């Protein structure tokens, strides 16, 4: 089978973990190739995610590298065993691979810790809210691209309806809740949707009000995806140029501490729901006032789309 031209982020992660294991053991690619009985050039392809590897070969390499972390080895073997294509693969060729990587990360996460200052999480967005975000991208997206991004974003939310969904801990700044993407009516329905989701057992929402002041990472959009073992956790940082995936131990520790600090200044879940309910009621009153005066709610432009 020829090497993959565009390995997914998860496939790259499996390969990079095998490479780290090999280099930590002081072994060469020639040594690894000899263990597996393959040409030496096959090893770099495996370690870059461009070629697949079987669970048995993962265990063979780990044993000969002297890796004693059984949980890590079995987690990597489990990743190697994944052969079925996820639903996100139906969008390959329509959307940037980074969109698919985000969906793949969410699908395999045990827990997602999210902290956002301006945008709401993609997993929380209503269709009208998401459309308003995508229609405001610069340069303006063709209608077909908006439709594909919108369909993908809505499909991502099926992870929340699985029999065993990931635990989702979300920290939202008041600014994100007050942004009226798509206008007042859309914003109100969006807040009501967040309230509805916050009632689920697997979802916790905390709000950082303006009066809380500064906190670490206030300017970043952070998603921390926990795996079955902490060594395979991933941080996804959003930007206008697409997501950045980080997995070094030092950076994982940094973002765990950052999320802990943000959570410490946030309101408790019950108080957060009350806070959001008040904002939704204010929008309802604003909408009613505009309607009574014959002024339809305005639809404001949104900043660049967030994942």
Residues 191-208 pLDDT 10s = 999 999 999 999 999 999
Instruction: Let me know the angle formed at the C-alpha of 267 by 261 and 271, rounded to the nearest 5 degrees.
Output: 165
Fold of 89-292: Endonuclease; Chain A (3.30.870)
- The string of pLDDT tens digits covering residues 146-198 is 999 999 999 999 999 999 999 999 999 999 999 999 999 999 999 999 999 99
The predicted model gives 29-45 an average pLDDT of 97
Q: Where are the domains of the chain?
A: 9-81, 89-292
3-state secondary structure the chain: CCCCCCCCHHHHHHHHHHHHHHHHCCCCHHHHHHHHCCCCCHHHHHHCCCCCCCHHHHHHHHHHHCCCCHHHHHHHHHHHHCCCCCHHHHHECCECHHHHHHHHHHHHCCEEEEEECCCCCHHHCCHHHHHHHHCCCCCCCCHHHHHHHHHHHHHHHHHHHCCCCCEEEEEEEHHHHHCCECCHHHHHHHHHHHHHHHCCCCEEEEEECHHHCCCCCCCCCEEEEECCCHHHCEEEECCCCCCEEECCHHHHHHHHHHHHHHHHHCCCHHHHHHHHHHHHHHHHHHHHHHHHCCCCCCCECCCCCCC
Least confident window among 14-18, 253-257, 289-293, 295-299: 295-299
Q: Which comes out higher in pLDDT, residue 40 or 286?
A: 40
Nearest to 197 by CA among 123, 112, 280: 123
Q: pTM of the entire structure?
A: 0.92
For the chain, the average pLDDT equals: 94
Q: How far apart are CA 117 and CA 269, in angstroms?
A: 17
Q: How far apart are CA 225 and CA 106, in angstroms?
A: 7
- The string of pLDDT tens digits covering residues 222-239 is 999 999 999 999 999 988
Q: What is the CATH number of domain 9-81?
A: 1.10.260.40
């Amino acid at each position: 089978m020829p090497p993959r031209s565009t390995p997914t982020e998860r496939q790259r992660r499996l390969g990079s973990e095998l490479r780290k294991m090999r280099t930590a053991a002081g072994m060469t690619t020639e040594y690894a190739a000899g263990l597996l009985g393959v040409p030496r050039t096959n090893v770099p392809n495996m370690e870059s995610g461009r070629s697949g590897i079987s669970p048995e070969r993962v265990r063979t390499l780990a044993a000969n590298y002297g890796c004693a972390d059984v949980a890590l080895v079995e987690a990597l073997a489990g990743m190697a065993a994944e052969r079925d294509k996820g639903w996100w693969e139906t969008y390959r060729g329509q959307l940037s691979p980074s969109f698919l990587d985000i969906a793949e990360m969410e699908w395999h996460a045990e827990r997602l810790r999210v902290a956002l200052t301006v945008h709401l999480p993609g997993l929380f967005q209503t269709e009208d809210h998401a459309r308003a975000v995508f229609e405001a991208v610069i340069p303006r997206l063709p209608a077909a691209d908006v439709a594909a991004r919108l369909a993908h974003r809505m499909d991502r939310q099926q992870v929340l309806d699985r029999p065993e969904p990931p635990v989702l801990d979300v920290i939202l700044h008041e600014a994100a809740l007050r942004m009226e993407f798509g206008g007042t009516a859309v914003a109100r329905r969006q807040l009501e949707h967040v309230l509805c989701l916050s009632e689920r057992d697997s979802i916790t929402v905390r709000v950082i009000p303006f009066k809380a002041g500064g906190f670490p990472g206030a300017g970043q959009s952070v998603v921390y995806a926990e795996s079955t073992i902490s060594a395979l956790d991933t941080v996804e940082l959003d930007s206008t140029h697409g997501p950045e995936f980080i997995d070094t131990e030092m950076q994982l520790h940094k973002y765990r501490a950052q999320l802990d600090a943000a959570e410490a200044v946030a309101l408790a879940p019950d108080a957060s729901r009350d806070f959001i309910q008040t904002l939704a009621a204010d929008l309802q009153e604003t909408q009613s006032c505009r309607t009574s005066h014959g002024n339809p709610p305005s639809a404001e432009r949104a900043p660049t789309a967030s994942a």
